[in-house]
Amino acid sequence: MEVSKTINNTCDFCNEKQPFLVECRNCDKGFCYSYSEKCGIHFDHINNSVYSICKNCVDGISKKIIISVDYSKLECLKKKIKLRKMVKN
Is the pTM here over 0.75, yes or no? Answer: no
Say which residue, 77 or 4, is predicted with more confidence: 77
Q: What is the model's pLDDT at position 77?
A: 82
Computed on alpha carbons and rounded to an integer, the radius of gyration of the chain in Å comes to 21
* Rama region for 76: left / alpha / beta (φ>0; ψ in -120 to 50; rest): alpha
Q: pLDDT per residue over 5-34, tens digit each?
A: 455 788 888 888 888 888 889 898 888 877
pLDDT cut 90: percent of the chain above it? 11
Q: What is the largest CA-CA distance in the chain?
A: 66
Cα angle vertex 54, ends 6, 19, to 5°?
A: 30
